[in-house]
Amino acid sequence: MFGFLFVDALRDNLRFRRLWPWLLLAGFCFLVAFFWREWGFRPRPDRVYSLVSLTLVFKVLALASAIYSTSVIGREVEQRTIVYLLTRPVPRWMIILSRFLASSIVVTLIGVLSVIGVSLAAYRGEAFANEMLWRDMGALAVGAFAYGALFVLISLMVNRAMLVCLLYTFGWELLVPNLKGDAAALSVFNYLEAIANHPEVSQRRNLLTFLSGQLAGESVTPMGAFMTMAIAVAILAFAACWWFSNFEYLPRDDAA
């Protein structure tokens, strides 16, 4: 049963109709890196790659995760088809877990495609010799699961989950990693940045350093960040499964 649910969710997430906006965004990341490399200010490949990756690709990842994760159950509630799911002999945790895994894998693919595009634009023929690319792929996979687990849980707990997730993505995740002190520990991006382990994009403190979340400097080791994220994913996914198994879900109009 788990396999059927997982494959079905994966197939649904990979439908071209759902995927094409993300392919466009991946193309956009490629174009930004390409034009910067061609005509930009100080277009060193590592600098171009690092900046575009941190400021754009990781944001695309969080955005994709917000969209895919909130639709894990949210779309069924909106379409009012959730009633068919919830009156079948399928454990509710299995529905959540299989769909969470499927959406996280697709979000990882989106992130990996984007970052490969950026590496191709920045390094051209030596794109895959770029060490940061491989670390980024790992960080993107971890990020897809971490954001996914967090956003799935949010989508199960609050009504306007998309709004909350977008505020988190473009507010919290932009601001908090740049704060000094313990607040950064509450940002997923802070850990992803530690796993990606990019060199500092600039010696000076400017907008690009802010956007790439490097104002505060690194505070976590890559292994520490990975372990923290792994534990967080496990806890958040468990919480989402528990929540969905114990609370009521009605079609949107009926719940009002």
Partner 1 sequence: MIVLQNASRWYGQVIGLNDVTCQIGAGITALLGQNGAGKSTLMRLVTGQLKPTTGEVTVFGLRPFANIEVYRLLGYCPEIDNFYESMTGREFVVYLARLGGYGPTEARRRADRVLETVGMADRCDKRIAGYSKGMRQRIKLAQAMVHDPRVILLDEPLNGLDPVGRREYMDLLAALVDQGVAVLVSSHILYEVEQMTRSILLLHRGRLLATGDLRVIRSLIDKHPHRIRIESQEPRRVAEQLVRLPYVLSMQFDFAGGAIELECKEPERFYDELPSLVVENDLPVSGFSSPDNNLESVFRYLVGG
Query: Least distance (Å) from partner 1 to the CB of residue 250?
Result: 6
**Residues 131-190 contacting partner 1, CB under 8 A:** none
Q: Cβ of 91: how many Cβ atoms within 10 Å?
A: 13
Question: What DSSP state is assigned to residue 199?
Answer: P
C-beta separation of 78 from 55 below 8 A: no
Q: What are the two backbone dihedrals, phi and then psi, of residue 246, each rounded to the nearest 5 degrees?
A: -115, -10
Question: Quick one: tokens of 128?
Answer: 């895959």
**91 contacts partner 1 (rule: CB under 8 A):** yes
Cα 186 from Cα 110, distance rounded (Å): 24
Q: Give me 140's structure tokens.
A: 């993107």
Listed ranges 45-53, 88-96, 155-163, 216-224: which one lies at the site for partner 1 (CB under 8 A): 88-96
Of 82 and 121, the one with the shorter C-beta distance to partner 1 is: 82
Told to check if 11 binds partner 1 by CB under 8 A, we report: no
Cα angle vertex 130, ends 225, 172, to 5°?
40
Least distance in angstroms from the C-beta of 80 to partner 1: 4
Q: Does 42 bind partner 1 (CB under 8 A)?
A: no
Question: Which residue in 79, 159, 206, 221 binds partner 1 (CB under 8 A)?
Answer: 79
User: Interface with partner 1 by CB under 8 A: which residues?
Assistant: 1, 4, 8, 79-81, 83-92, 245-246, 248-251, 254
